Chains A and B, each alone.
Chain A
Amino acid sequence: GAVVSQHPSRVICKSGTSVKIECRSLDFQATTMFWYRQFPKQSLMLMATSNEGSKATYEQGVEKDKFLINHASLTLSTLTVTSAHPEDSSFYICSVQTGENQPQHFGDGTRLSIL
């Protein structure tokens, strides 16, 4: 069964809107979740590591004020794209690692389209 639930699967909104994406870990308490961005026909690009109860760790070049991450519980991390613009349009995917040296399990992704 699914390990990770990501919602919504698709968002279309106007430029300037803030969009929140949820990532839930099912049947597992995740102290760490990961957020990725993916462009068409390309690999995944890690944006940030979401840490339960503390600040997220952002990768170089990712604006933390643009992509707000909140990991308030052991089963939920949220990514908010603030004041989204067309260049933020992409496929955003979260993942959960179920233990040290265990593989990551991915959500089904969120297709974000900014008009």
Chain B
Amino acid sequence: TQLLEQSPQFLSIQEGENLTVYCNSSSVFSSLQWYRQEPGEGPVLLVTVVTGGEVKKLKRLTFQFGDARKDSSLHITAAQPGDTGLYLCAGAGGTSYGKLTFGQGTILTVHP
């Protein structure tokens, strides 16, 4: 069984602060996706990282894929209240072909 350990589970910060969310696994993934979900809605894809060592930026969000394709991080600079939500990492490929392996999720609350 593939596992993706996501941390922290909860994050409560003030507007303007920086934060990093981590996803780690002992398994290699062919790609890793990051999603953001708001209450009562489905997850929305933020980014897909495919190549080991890859870094992608989406405005204030920076995503990294580890060299060995076993881990990933999401860094948010100068967080805003609109960033509040549930962040999910999900690995594709590996031994669970065709399925996604989800992390436990990080509930981020950004206070104004």
Interface positions of A (Cβ within 8 A of B): 4, 6, 32, 34, 41-44, 46, 49, 91, 93, 95, 97, 101, 103-109, 111
Contact = CB atoms under 8 A, between A and B. Distances in A.
Contacts of B30: 101
A43 B104 contact: yes
A43 B42 contact: no
B25 to A, nearest CB: 14
A35 to B, nearest CB: 12
Interface stretch (B11-19, B57-65, B92-100): B92-100
Given A43-B88, A49-B99, A101-B31, A106 B105 contact: no
A107 to B, nearest CB: 5
Interface of B: 6, 30-31, 33, 35, 40-45, 48, 50, 86, 88, 90, 92-93, 98-100, 102-105, 107
B100 A104 contact: yes
- In this complex, which of A6, A42, A103, A107 has the most chain B Cβ atoms within 10 angstroms of its Cβ? A103
A43 B92 contact: no
A109 B99 contact: no
B105 A97 contact: no
A43 to B, nearest CB: 4
Contacts of A97: 98
A32 B88 contact: no
B82 to A, nearest CB: 19
Nearest to A97: B98
B43 A32 contact: no
Contact of A44 (B41, B43, B50): B43
Contacts of B103: 43
Nearest to B103: A43
A34 B90 CA distance: 14
